[in-house]
Structure 1
Amino acid sequence: MTKKYQDVIDLINQRIDKQSYLPGDKLPSIRSLSTQLGISKNTVIRAYQQLEANQRIEALPRSGYVIAQPAIAHAAQPEPSYVDLMTLSKDIMSLPPSRQVLATGSAHPDTSFPAIRSLYAEIGRHSRYQTHIPSHYQLPPGNEVLLRQLVYINQELGITTSAQALLITHGAQQAISLSLQALTQPGDIVLVESPCYFGNLLLLESLGLQVIEIPASPSHGIDLPALAKALDNWPVSAIILNPSFNNPTGYLMSEPDRRQLLAMTGEIPIIEDDVFGDLAYGRRPPPLKTLDTQDRVIYCNSLSKTLDSRLRIGWVIAGKYQPVIEKRLMTDNMGSLNLMQSAVGAFLSSGKYRQHLHKIRRSYARKQRQFTRILCESLDQYAWLQGRYLISQPEGGFLCWLTLPEHADSEILYRQALARDISILPGTMFSTQPHYQHCIRLSFATFTETPHWLNGLRSLADIIATHLKPEASLH
């Protein structure tokens, strides 16, 4: 029988190898881990001492232990690959909403707030008005009233812009797609964080682009040393980043890391996906766009996560790349949604949007705490799960990332949960490699502390526990 401290060593090593822990991540305290695993503090101390001797972790004065940087000679070198996710993604995304009794797999916002009712009343008024004016296309850059309101929204984010420098798009997805088309040719290499939002991976697949995935920690984001090595080894044409309350993990990149990333990437264009950025529970670092002194960050955002995904109102601030993106926008669409743009412009002009943001930020912060507590309590009912999983606790947005023991199969869990009318997203959707087979993305956007949700989360925990029960628990 293996010694207890060796079990702890194996557990930490597995999490490092599976990228559940990344260089710089802080390990649980000795007291915390001993409580989680039901073992003595001396056992944890001995395990940590051995891991430190093996150069897997480092002790920081008065700060506990963190994951060590890997030796350069042995560090994994990410390589370009093509994306092949369409079949899996189409199967999961085509699930009818009526089947999703517990919609933890959805990345749609909570639309139960009063401002959303006001928004749709405004859309109704504008739909009636449309019958009294001649039919016409809403040409780029977009509706003048909406453009002015988006200028104000960006100013509050610290981005100084003008209506002439904004292009309204069919959601942030089109903004990112047009940006990639402006920057790349088929076969070019694009660098992304890993795990990466599957929608961006699907764009790379549709455009015939290669991708290099750089590991990203659920706590602080992309691994900058790994990024530097990739840039040294490969001709990268563009970088896509979602640095504020990232989809899927919820991580928030610090301002020093943002500045370091800009400094180390030279003149490579960066596409900043900031759709969750306005959902900070507290203060958040400034967007990359505000730190950019070379006019190479293309800023993409939308109202899909703060108001309603169905609006399909996004925008792009492209700087020197605007002329070519505007040309593509014109030729692709020959005009945009007149009704939606005029109605949303009027709604934003009412002043209700700012009040709405204050409400949803507080709501999502509360839901995150409640959701995490209940899910952890439900999982901890099973002795063989205690201390064997990690759940990210983001400081904004409404998504979190559940990391299970390495032998878990999230696609099997997806199908088993679906059979009980629970939607989750398997980690395999967020990478071209099988790194996240044991991970699940969850949403707490519509969570309420009701019997419906409580029973649903208990059912999800039961599905996970049954799936993992064959492995002996760690004692």
Structure 2
Amino acid sequence: MESSHQRTETKYQQVIAELELRLEHGVYQAGDKLPSIRQLSGQMAVSKNTVIRAYQELEASQKIEAHPRSGYIVTLRPCLETQPIQTPGFVDLLSLSRTVLQDSLSPALLPTGSAHPNTSFPAITSLYAEIGRHSRYQTHVPSHYLLPPGDEQLRKQLVAINQWHGITASASDILITHGAQQGISMALQALTQPGDTVIIESPCYFGNLLLLESLGLKVVEIPASLQSGMDLTRLKQALQQWPIAAILINPSFNNPTGSVMPLAARQQLLAMTQGIPIIEDDVFGDLAYAGRPPTLYSMDDSHRVIYCNSLSKTLDSRLRIGWLLAGRYQPQIEKRLLADNMGSLNLMQSAVAEFLKTGKYRAHLGKIRRFYHQNQRRFSQILCAALDSYPWLVGRYHLNLADGGFLCWLTLPEQANSDQIYQLAYQAGISILPGSMFSTLDSYRHCLRLSYAAFEDNPRWHTGIGQLARIIADHLKPASDMNEAKKRIFQ
């Protein structure tokens, strides 16, 4: 029989293995604060003494440091500054992205690959009733273009929404766009020329990568910690090495990882990039479960941050309603928006404006935040239990759970090939997104982006999650076991 001492030793070694995996894959980077003893004890369902023993062992191996009143910090590694930064290069992801996106449209798939919000809420029903009323009203109005900057009543409603983020802006400062994607595109076109270099965080939302590809722009990927966002040491190196036309960043609940850049890092980012335009993608910012740092736009006193947001993640992606705060670049972006989009969606903008006037949107935000947080807890419990049912996976993966949004980032052992896992999952009727879609490099082939927006605590989802875990487990088995594993996947 196993003694209690042996069981305790096994547990603290499992904690060490998990933390070392997080360190290896950049979940925690140099200078990051580790979870408190109480937090990690709860996360891993072990005693506080077990966590203390694991931290002591990691401290002895100089991987972490104990700081008075601050807890444990990942050891700073000065050699990081001497590591080479990726040379600027062009993006080439169109063919892969098109294939994956077309596959994910199948209604038969379990939608864990989708980044669309859940629309089964009363507010969405009210919204579409409003759209129906405006549709009938439009038949009595002469046909005309709705010119930029967009519907005046909608812009007035967005003034209040911006204030929730600590952003003071008038209706005249707001440019309505066809989703945040068009806003980012307009900003990039106003700030850059083909061949210019743009800094992005890595991993980066594939839609933004496709924009950069279509505009003929080069990118420098700056690694981002799952805990604190873009690595500012590497950013500083890149700024010293190349002329940078703009920085594109998603600092609040990054897509795909969910990382949030802390307040101090945001302040440092603004201080070290003086004179360089920053495009802030904030589409998931309103889905914070408890709170988040202020937007870069609200912290910027030089008017060089361009703020992009939309209602696509909080209401419905089909609305295609986004907005832009362009700061000092507003004249050229508004001119480009007019040339690119002479006629906006009259019906949708006026209907959404009326819906926002009802006050239902703010109550809806509170409801969906609670809903997604609950989904996250249950989805992660089921997935981790399914993965842990395979002994060779225990302690060898990390599921990053953000404090907002509805996406999570699964990091598997380095030998995993998420493209192959994606293909097997697709054949089994499960939609996922491979990590290779989120980088111009080959850095995240062992990662998967998953969504719990549409999760339901029912047998269909339980079975689907279990099957995904089995696909992953069989994929990571030794080669000698693979033939037998493939036979079992679709049983």
Moved more, 287-296 or 58-67: 58-67
* 2:83 counterpart of 1:75: yes
**Conserved 8 A contact 1:23-1:223:** no
Q: Which amino acid aligns with 1:407?
A: Q
Alignment RMSD, CA only? 2.6
Aligned counterpart for 1:48 among listed residues 55, 58, 72: 58
The whole-number CA distance in structure 1 between the counterparts of 2:181 and 2:259 is: 20
**Matching of residues 266-415 of structure 1 within 5 Å:** 266-415=274-423
**Matching of residues 16-55 of structure 1 within 5 Å:** 16=23, 18-26=25-33, 48=58, 51-52=61-62
* 2:431 counterpart of 1:445: no
Unmatched 5+ stretches in structure 2:
1-9, 481-491
TM-score, normalization by structure 2: 0.88
Q: Which amino acid aligns with 1:257?
A: A
Cα 1:313–1:41 change in 2 (3 A) is closer
Moved more, 358-367 or 21-30: 21-30
Deviations 1:150-205 (CA, angstroms, capped at 9, x unpaired)? 11111121111111111000000000000000101111110011100111111111
Q: Which residue of 1 aligns with 2:132?
A: 124
The whole-number CA distance in structure 2 between the counterparts of 1:190 and 1:312 is: 25
**Conserved 8 A contact 1:18-1:435:** no
Cα 1:12–1:276 change in 2 (3 A) is closer
Cα 1:87–1:42 change in 2 (3 A) is same
Q: Which amino acid aligns with 1:272?
A: E
Q: Which amino acid aligns with 1:350?
A: T
The offset of 1:230, in angstroms, is 1.2
**Matching of residues 189-268 of structure 1 within 5 Å:** 189-268=197-276
Cα 1:391–1:471 change in 2 (3 A) is farther
The offset of 1:34, in angstroms, is 10
Q: Which amino acid aligns with 2:112?
A: T
Residue 259 of structure 2 aligns to a residue in which SS? coil
The whole-number CA distance in structure 1 between the counterparts of 2:294 and 2:15 is: 39
**Conserved 8 A contact 1:83-1:201:** yes
The whole-number CA distance in structure 1 between the counterparts of 2:148 and 2:81 is: 51
**Conserved 8 A contact 1:21-1:67:** no
**Conserved 8 A contact 1:416-1:463:** yes
Q: Which amino acid aligns with 2:30?
A: P
Aligned counterpart for 2:117 among listed residues 109, 112, 124: 109
The offset of 1:20, in angstroms, is 4.4
The offset of 1:437, in angstroms, is 0.6
TM-score, normalization by structure 1: 0.91
- How many residue pairs align between the two structures? 463
Cα 1:335–1:468 change in 2 (3 A) is same
Deviations 1:121-178 (CA, angstroms, capped at 9, x unpaired)? 1111111111111000000011111111111111121111111111000000000000
Residue 263 of structure 1 aligns to a residue in which SS? helix
The whole-number CA distance in structure 2 between the counterparts of 1:431 and 1:389 is: 20
**Conserved 8 A contact 1:100-1:423:** no
**Conserved 8 A contact 2:104-2:111:** no
Cα 1:379–1:200 change in 2 (3 A) is same
Cα 1:246–1:342 change in 2 (3 A) is same
Deviations 1:425-461 (CA, angstroms, capped at 9, x unpaired)? 0000000111101000011111121111111111111
The offset of 1:320, in angstroms, is 1.3
The whole-number CA distance in structure 1 between the counterparts of 2:36 and 2:159 is: 45
* 2:444 counterpart of 1:433: no
Deviations 1:253-301 (CA, angstroms, capped at 9, x unpaired)? 1111111111111111000000000111112111111100100000000
**Conserved 8 A contact 1:296-1:319:** yes
The offset of 1:235, in angstroms, is 0.9
Residue 88 of structure 1 aligns to a residue in which SS? helix
Unmatched 5+ stretches in structure 1:
none
Moved more, 171-180 or 453-462: 453-462
The offset of 1:46, in angstroms, is 8.6
Residue 116 of structure 1 aligns to a residue in which SS? helix
Moved more, 22-31 or 326-335: 22-31
Q: Which residue of 1 aligns with 2:147?
A: 139
The whole-number CA distance in structure 1 between the counterparts of 2:120 and 2:44 is: 42
Identity over aligned pairs, percent: 61
The offset of 1:77, in angstroms, is 2.1
Deviations 1:401-442 (CA, angstroms, capped at 9, x unpaired)? 000011000000000000111000000000011110100001
The whole-number CA distance in structure 2 between the counterparts of 1:402 and 1:111 is: 25
Moved more, 94-103 or 141-150: 94-103
**Conserved 8 A contact 2:319-2:348:** yes
The whole-number CA distance in structure 2 between the counterparts of 1:242 and 1:114 is: 29
**Conserved 8 A contact 2:117-2:317:** yes
Deviations 1:13-37 (CA, angstroms, capped at 9, x unpaired)? 776554344223456789969989x
**Conserved 8 A contact 2:199-2:219:** yes
Q: Which amino acid aligns with 1:449?
A: D
The whole-number CA distance in structure 1 between the counterparts of 2:108 and 2:75 is: 38
